[in-house]
Structure 1
Amino acid sequence: MAERPYIVGNWKMNGTRSMLSEARAIDRASQRLMKVEVALAPPFTLLHAVHKEVQQIGVGAQDCHPGEDGAFTGDVSASMVLDAGAKFVILGHSERRQAHGEDDALVKAKATAALNAGLRIILCCGESEEIRDAGEAEQFVIDQLKASMPKISGNVGEVLTVAYEPIWAIGTGRTPTADDIGSMHRAIRALLVELYGEETSAAVRILYGGSVNPGNATELLGADEVGGALVGGASLTAESFLGIVLAAADLPD
């Protein structure tokens, strides 16, 4: 596993200012769990507020527009989320790809804009149940990741995290086996080595995302090449999210 485990909470379209207490509780606990890097991605409306409330954990956005500015009603640019306090942005999440029709080219453009603005990126990839059942999951994910990857120079580990999220496991309560996750993460690692070289790519963490909760976190985080987790529903309360963080902290060095 490269560097510290990275546990990222994606609040999705959840949260008002009343949830700042959950962010504060997560932050306080994270100050005692330095073996784990912890971050939250609240909705745009809470970015600045969460940024002001926390000291230890990272704060990021769930999306950004590929343009710098202009007549794009309702959109938010990478420089805007940076200005609000974000240090990273989640891009290519399956919910954006499916519900908003985002293709690989758009995800790549957004990732390029985020890097140019000075943000780190969490680049998501994953397959549907149909593709998994057809035995084409690994090739699909590798092709998707290749087509979505921006040009990165320098220390890739400082700016890039990859998140594998099988679409059929997101919010469904279903999870792949640890062997399935390890196999996919090894394939992603091989691609990163191909693109950036073995030494440089070793610092890129590959997260698993898909119905991660305190009950299954130890098994999932222990799978081969899993460098952390992208957590959805279980990140909405400090109690459940910190159960996952504690599982990461207890992993063998």
Structure 2
Amino acid sequence: MRKKIVAANWKMNLTLAQGEQLINDILAAGLKLAEGQEVVISTPFPYLMKAKSLLKNYPGFFTGAQNCYSEKSGAYTGEVSAEMLQSIGVDYVIIGHSERREYFQESNEMLAKKVDLALANGLKPIFCCGEPLAIRQAETQNAYVAKQLEESLYHLTEEQLKNVVIAYEPIWAIGTGLTASAQQAQDMHAYIRSQIAAKFGREAALRMSILYGGSAKPGNAAELFACPDVDGGLIGGASLVAADFTAIISKLP
């Protein structure tokens, strides 16, 4: 049975006080997570230790970083290493988010190095993949996503892959006014699972949690999470509103 996960990505939002209040409001909702369900709160770097302390007594709740650097250590002013994140007890790290790929030109090769460092330090990567509008319009999205998976994950062993979560981001449907249907999400998730099966075997594919990262909201979360190959969501804007985020979590099957 694969894990069902809802992960918050706060991006570059909130002050420390606002973030602490948000976590407290989420916890105050009294959600009871079932076995195999997890909630990951991915905060900006300065808030991770506070988030860890607030979540420590709540089973099923974990902290996540939004990024790590592709080198172990060194003269990289302003960067944060996987080892640093491990040293403060972070559980997950988002790698290859579409914004990182676009704004910071992160390549598949660089992301492979980040995945390796995360795993070497006991962090669970949430590896993001997905296609922009031009690729979707050209109907070449499957080949595009397959290349992302191949160049960043296919060097791993099946044992290493057990600690990786994949998040599919239909970039063309995020903040554009366009909407990805539940069927489009299911189709791509099923394709991703088929690619994992072809490379790592059926058991590895069945074990892989694949999250949907295309602007899930309380109104569409139940339909998305009901899809057989959608195992939860990577939530952006809606994760900044406690009522919305807890409503999405409550839709997990």
TM range (shorter): over 0.9
Work out whether residues 120 and 159 of structure 1, in 8 Å CA contact, stay in contact via their aligned partners in 2. Answer: yes
> How far does the alpha carbon of each residue in 1:115-164 deviate from its partner, in whole angstroms, 9 at most, with x for none?
11111111100001110011101111111111111633353564110000
- Residue 23, structure 1, aligned to residue 27, structure 2: no
- Residue 89, structure 1, aligned to residue 88, structure 2: no
Matches of 2:219 and 2:173 in 1, distance apart?
Answer: 15
Partner of 1:152: 156
- 1:33-182, aligned counterparts within 5 Å? 33-35=33-35, 36-54=37-55, 55-56=57-58, 57-149=61-153, 151-153=155-157, 155-156=159-160, 158-182=162-186
Q: Which amino acid aligns with 2:40?
A: A
Give the secondary-structure state (helix, strand or coil) at the position aligned to 1:247: coil
* Higher mean C-alpha displacement, 4-13 vs 92-101: 4-13
* Higher mean C-alpha displacement, 221-230 vs 145-154: 145-154
Q: Which amino acid aligns with 1:26?
A: I
Partner of 1:195: 199
Q: How many residues align?
A: 248
TM-score (norm 1): 0.92
Matches of 2:120 and 2:154 in 1, distance apart?
Answer: 11
- Percent identity reads 38
> Given the superposition, is the C-alpha separation of residues 30 and 138 from structure 1 closer, same or farther in structure 2, using an over 3 Å criterion?
farther
Work out whether residues 181 and 224 of structure 1, in 8 Å CA contact, stay in contact via their aligned partners in 2. Answer: no
Work out whether residues 157 and 202 of structure 1, in 8 Å CA contact, stay in contact via their aligned partners in 2. Answer: no
> How far does the alpha carbon of each residue in 1:47-102 deviate from its partner, in whole angstroms, 9 at most, with x for none?
11100111321101010011121100000000111122211110010000000001
Q: CA deviation at 1:30?
A: 6.0
Q: Which amino acid aligns with 1:20?
A: E
Q: CA deviation at 1:103?
A: 0.8
> Given the superposition, is the C-alpha separation of residues 172 and 211 from structure 1 closer, same or farther in structure 2, using an over 3 Å criterion?
farther
Q: Which amino acid aligns with 2:41?
A: L
Matches of 2:151 and 2:161 in 1, distance apart?
Answer: 19
Partner of 1:7: 6
Unpaired runs of 5+ residues, structure 2, are none
Q: CA deviation at 1:218?
A: 0.9
> Given the superposition, is the C-alpha separation of residues 118 and 33 from structure 1 closer, same or farther in structure 2, using an over 3 Å criterion?
closer
Unpaired runs of 5+ residues, structure 1, are none
> Given the superposition, is the C-alpha separation of residues 214 and 105 from structure 1 closer, same or farther in structure 2, using an over 3 Å criterion?
same
